[in-house]
Chain A
Amino acid sequence: MTWGGADSSTLQSVRTWWPHAAVVVAMLAIPFLFDSPGMRTFNLVLLMGLAAQGLNIIMGLGGMVSVATASLLGVGGFLSGHLYETMGIGMATSVLLSAALGMMIGVILALPGLRLRHLYFATATMAMHFIIVFFLQLIQNGLRKGSPFILSTAEVGPIAFDKPVQWYALLCIISVIVMVATQWIKTAPLGRALNAIRDDQDAAEIAGVNTVRAKFIAFSISSGIIAGIGSIRAFYQLTSSWEEITLELAIQFVAIVIVGGMGFSYGPILGAMLVVGIPDFIARGLEGSVGPKLGSQIFLIKNTLFGALVIYFMTIGPDGVPGALRAARKALARHWRRLRPGAST
């Protein structure tokens, strides 16, 4: 049982236009269906999904589980916060600079990836997470005397982004760009090299794949995307602090990628919707009906729901939700054939 080749086992093999059209229609319809708090949930989902998209390059294509995602988000957020406070540099420039810094850190992250595999690699990235967060803490203590970086409303050109709907539109556009880029990487030589590494690294090496080069490039692209998203995230939240860069956040990204289906282009957004969006909606609903007296309990309820959902989605099948959908489609097709024995499908 493998995760299968990208083109045979994911929903992508559906080479028809309607799934993409359905996604576009849903994206356009959402602003008309939800109010501001609802839009905030979708923005959170898109932000988480975008960062998970970056992680998907090394995890979905290359099969290397990394828990350093949250710390890279923090790096992007910190750089943006510092640049904004000292020089007033805006979001567009900040994102590019953060991405460049992220790419450099990605090269360092690739080093344990050259030697370690699977669980050992995941634990090494966990070590990286704690080391990076420790440095972020030192930087925050040094530059800000421990208080978080404060940013102000992002302005791109003439537009000031201060409404959730505006952010939603911006994040949708960025999602499309990142999704197309990862789709391109998947079919490019780099993507094929990563797939070979995921299926069997030793065999890939023997077959002439330059695994070292592929890993370095994949890690720097992935880390660059994540740090860039970290910068956007900082402008969205208007603050940036080491305290929010928790291991739990890092784990959420890994869960999003796996639940959404490894290597599946819509996977990160789907996964984010399922394991971050649903708990957020339920928690908001509870807050609305029970009232604000729940306080910090809301956070605990959200985490419980997150954990329960991930465990549930993992127990229904090894390929995440797309795998389950595929199985359901096959079962339906079988059922259909049985009903009409003469028809060919």
Chain B
Amino acid sequence: MTTPLLVQILVQTLIYASIYSLFGLGYVLIYRASRVFNFAIAEMGLFCALLFTTCFVAFGLVWAIVLTVIGSLALGAALYLGIFSRLVGQEEWSQMIVSFALSIALLAVCGLIWGTEIRNIDVPGEKDKLFHIPGHVTLTVTDVVLIVSGFAIWGVLAWATTLSRLGVYMRATAENPLLAAQQGLPVTLIICTAWGVGSLVSAVASVSYGIRLQVDPTMILLGLVAVPAALLGGLDSVFGKLPGAIILGAAQATAAAFFGAAAGDVVAFATLLVVLLVLPHGLFGSKLIRRV
């Protein structure tokens, strides 16, 4: 393997990893607070990215960012209050299938509102300004921003969900909602916050991917490939998201470099299959001890 190819794969790995860890954080935040594995994360991200394109054309960059942040928080909270709060106490799979149904409906609604054509986001400034790094590999400003923001958000959320007060409240709510409520915790507010933040990180992933390339319905595949990243790091581990995403990104970038993009996605899922067969709870997931 030549050096440029190696560096190219490395750079691709970092880009994939930051996108997947963002989506993965979306999955895991919502799962930790409400025990719902929300397969609709990718579609929620697409919705927010489309919202961003519309606001961007109408009001400019700053307002687009503000409105998309508000919109994504509201979307997450509304989905929880409107749908998933009614399913509390149901089996895991029935909540899962509702999120699947939601993902299909949300994708169709996006199509009905915005159409299915490709949209570009022309952010003013030098978003395509190139950075040259040794090995004849170039990075655009967008790539660098994406990688840095991906890693930074992971760091902040890993801290916020494990050490901060909100994180403790969230864990308490997920562990036993009734006891948490009796302790005086605003359970609904905490779960809504988790859903809102989950929606927000997926919006960040989708919008930054949209700025980098384009916004169109096929984007949801990114969110789906992030499912292996979420499970690889362990379903309930926020910390595990980045290592999981890096492993997955590396596997995908390598496969894509040698066999083409379609093979990349498949290798991501094959990696998941292999890892789950060896470690059923992922790399950093907490082991469930079952008593009979």
Which residues on A are within 8 Å of B, measured CB to CB? 1, 3, 65, 111-112, 115-120, 122-124, 126-128, 130-131, 134, 137, 200, 202-203, 206, 247-248, 251, 254-255, 258, 296-297, 299-304, 306-308, 310-311, 314-315, 318
- The docked-state distance in angstroms from the alpha carbon of A137 to that of B200 is 35
Binds A, one of B18-26, B69-77, B164-172, B273-281: B273-281
Inter-chain CA distance A307–B235, complex, in Å, is 25
Q: How far is the CB of A52 from chain B (nearest CB, A)?
A: 13
Of the residues A117, A134, A318, contact of B94 by C-beta under 8 Å: A318
Supply 11 A–B pairs (Cβ within 8 Å), ascending by A: A116-B280, A119-B96, A123-B276, A126-B269, A255-B100, A300-B109, A303-B105, A307-B101, A307-B102, A310-B101, A318-B90
Among A117, A134, A248, A306, the residue within 8 A (CB) of B266 is A134
- B100 partner, pick from A127, A254, A308, beta carbons under 8 A: A254
- Is B93 in contact with chain A by the CB < 8 A criterion? yes
In Å, the complex CA distance between A329 and B116 comes to 45
Other-chain contact of A300, B83, B112, B262 (Cβ < 8 Å)? B112
Closest to B31 in A: A119
Roughly how many angstroms separate A248 CA and B104 CA in the complex, as a whole number? Answer: 7
Please, which residues of chain B bring their CB within 8 A of the CB of A308?
105
The answer to whether A254 touches B97, judged by C-beta atoms less than 8 angstroms apart, is yes
Report yes or no: B112 in contact with A297, Cβ–Cβ below 8 A.
yes
A170 to B183, CA, bound (A): 61
| A318 with B91, Cβ < 8 A, contacts A130-B266, A300-B108, A304-B112 known | yes
Chief secondary structure at chain B's binding surface: helix
Residue B227 is within 8 A (CB to CB) of chain A in the complex: yes
| Contact of B273 with A304 in the complex, beta carbons under 8 Å | no
Contact B277 A111 (CB under 8 A): yes
Q: A248-B104, A303-B104 are in contact. Are A130 and B269 (CB under 8 A)?
A: yes
Establish whether residues A134 and B98, one from each chain, have CB atoms under 8 Å apart when the complex forms.
no
> Which of B107, B112, B235, B270 sits near A119, CB closer than 8 Å?
B235
CB pair A65 B112 closer than 8 Å: no
Contacts of B91 in A (CB 8 A): 1, 3, 318
Whether, in the assembled complex, B51 has its beta carbon less than 8 Å from a beta carbon of chain A, the answer is: no
Take A127-B228, A206-B292, A254-B100 as given contacts and tell me if A307 and B106 are in contact as well, using a CB distance cutoff of 8 Å: yes
| A137-B262 contact in complex given A115-B280, A116-B276, A251-B101, C-beta closer than 8 Å | yes
The number of residues on chain B lying at the interface, defined by a beta carbon within 8 Å of a beta carbon of chain A, is 45
**How close is A283's CB to chain B, nearest CB, in angstroms?**
12
Q: Is B251 an interface position by the 8 A CB rule?
A: no
Nearest neighbor of A63 in chain B, beta-carbon distance: B93
CB-based contact A314/B93 at 8 Å: no
* Cα-based distance from A109 to B93 in the complex (angstroms): 19
Beta-carbon nearest neighbor of B290 in chain A: A202
> Which positions 102-141 of chain B face chain A at CB distance < 8 Å?
102-109, 111-112, 116
Min Cβ gap B57→A in Å is: 22
What is the minimal beta-carbon distance from B43 to any residue of chain A, in angstroms?
A: 10
Q: Quick check: is B184 within 8 A (CB to CB) of the other chain?
A: no
Cβ-defined contact, A120 with B273, below 8 A: no
The residue in chain A whose Cβ has the minimal distance to the Cβ of B227 is A123
Are A131 and B266 neighbours in the complex by a CB distance under 8 Å? yes
Q: Pick the contact of A134 from B101, B263, B273, B292 — CB < 8 Å?
A: B263
Q: Which of A120, A200, A254 contacts B276 (CB 8 A)?
A: A120
Q: How far is the CA of A255 from the CA of B109 in the complex (A)?
A: 19
Report yes or no: A120 in contact with B231, Cβ–Cβ below 8 A: yes
